[in-house]
Structure 1
Amino acid sequence: MTACDTPPNPRARRVLLLPGWLDSGPGHWQTLWERQGAERVQQADWVWPRRGDWMARLDEVLLADERPALLAAHSLGCHLVAAWAAHSRHCMRVDAALLVAPPDLDKPDLPPQLAPWRPAVRRALPFPALLAFSNDDPFADEAASASLAADWGATPWPLGARGHLNADSGLGAWPEGLARLHALAAGPGG
């Protein structure tokens, strides 16, 4: 049997997409990754997100498949990862997380739909994480992003002036983000 004949590894990692409030639209990098085979974690309510419901849904999706997961979270999805990791008994199913543009939940102009997510869970994550942020994100300044990265034990990844790192940021399919996520899971030198 040659390498080309080798059957797929059933333990191969899957990429789970964790969109934020209101989900991710058609031009968003998460949607483009979904078209490449990543799996979007669907939530029952994107408009009035309930933290406990979102956490339970993530557990459900992780338990439905034996393969380890890589989490690719955007915006409120980053806070989902932190809250879930602080409470779930299934963290060992996650090999790494890419946390992109988490909002500052302490902002005074936070939409009322997100207020129940306060206070932000700030416990260190039990798996490697990379936190990508922009210096002109309207939902979190650099100091807030750096503070979350430090509290979560995530490596900060500043991307300059790119807004909320969404469809309007010009990232397209963002192959660098996906490559960095896989490299993070592979570990040093991997």
Structure 2
Amino acid sequence: MSTVLVVPGLHGSGPAHWQSWFERQVEGSIRVEQSNWDEPNLARWAGSLRQELDRARGHVWIVAHSFGCLATAHVAQAYRERIAGAMLVAPADPDKFGLSNTLPDEPLGFPSVVVASTNDPWVRVMRAAWLADRWGSRFVNIGAAGHINVDSGHGPWRDGLEIFNLLRRSHGDFPLGPLDAEGDKPAGPRRRRGDGRRSQFDWVKYLGSA
């Protein structure tokens, strides 16, 4: 059994957002709710994520967007034994919230991918690439896709779902051991590596610019 935690960004993700579509497509999805979606308080948002991580069963996968990516990075080190992998889409620039010195300056400790756009108003693409390198994440540039939200036309996002499925099907070093083909059962113990970039992903089909 596995759990998929969907972590929206500032103002939440409405019914037309790709994260809401993901929840309908991916079995075991749970949205991490915030008491105030309009106040990007890192400590509170991270606290809500911690509560869901503590309640979750089995391997935990995270699908985060914007400020939700920062909350995910903030809790990563404490939960590296629980999190199987994370897809971090359009991470907001920590500098916009005065958080550059608050987030980890080392690999997250589990396989992860940062998906970014060349014209995102919340983060420059090179800054997103720098965050990916800092966190030990695979970096995927999908071109001019805005903030990868409803405004940029990302409701049903099949390419995003493909990226997530590639992450789940990867056969790298997972914190809780590698997963089977269905992505929900441990296949036995395996030595953990701290750098998610060392996991083996078959990105070639989709990610020509990765």
Shared fold by TM > 0.5?
A: yes
Among all aligned residue pairs of Structure 1 and Structure 2, give the percentage whose two residues are the same amino acid: 35
Matches within 5 A, 1:37-56: 37=27, 38-56=29-47
User: 83, 89, 92: which one pairs with 1:100?
Assistant: 89
Q: Which amino acid aligns with 2:62?
A: L
Q: Does 1:131 align with 2:114?
A: yes
| Contact 2:86–2:111 under 8 Å retained in 1 | yes
User: 164, 177, 190: which one pairs with 1:181?
Assistant: 164
What residue in structure 2 maps to residue 4 of structure 1? none
Q: Does 1:71 align with 2:58?
A: no
* Bigger share in helix: 1
Q: CA offsets per residue over residues 115-153 of structure 1, 9 Å max, x none?
A: 4x4435132111111111000001111111111010011
| Aligned counterparts of 2:153 and 2:137: Cα–Cα separation in 1 | 24
Shift of 1:189: 6.6
| Number of equivalent positions | 170
User: 41, 48, 51: which one pairs with 1:60?
Assistant: 51
Q: Unmatched 5+ residue regions in structure 2?
A: 171-199, 203-210
| Aligned counterparts of 1:142 and 1:179: Cα–Cα separation in 2 | 21
Query: Are residues 35 and 151 of structure 1, via their aligned partners in 2, closer, same or farther at CA, if it must alter by over 3 Å?
Result: same
| Aligned counterparts of 1:104 and 1:60: Cα–Cα separation in 2 | 25
3-state SS in 2 of match to 1:33: helix
What residue in structure 1 maps to residue 149 of structure 2? 166
Q: CA offsets per residue over residues 3-24 of structure 1, 9 Å max, x none?
A: xxxxxxxx2x222110111111
What residue in structure 2 maps to residue 18 of structure 1? 7
| Contact 2:120–2:146 under 8 Å retained in 1 | yes
What residue in structure 2 maps to residue 82 of structure 1? 73
| Contact 1:96–1:181 under 8 Å retained in 2 | no
Q: Who wins on radius of gyration, i.e. which is larger?
A: 1
What's the RMSD between the two structures over aligned residues?
1.8
3-state SS in 1 of match to 2:62: strand
Q: Which amino acid aligns with 2:167?
A: L
| Contact 1:125–1:153 under 8 Å retained in 2 | yes
| Aligned counterparts of 2:21 and 2:30: Cα–Cα separation in 1 | 11
| Aligned counterparts of 1:94 and 1:174: Cα–Cα separation in 2 | 23
| Contact 1:82–1:123 under 8 Å retained in 2 | no
| Contact 1:16–1:70 under 8 Å retained in 2 | yes
What residue in structure 2 maps to residue 119 of structure 1? 101
3-state SS in 2 of match to 1:172: coil
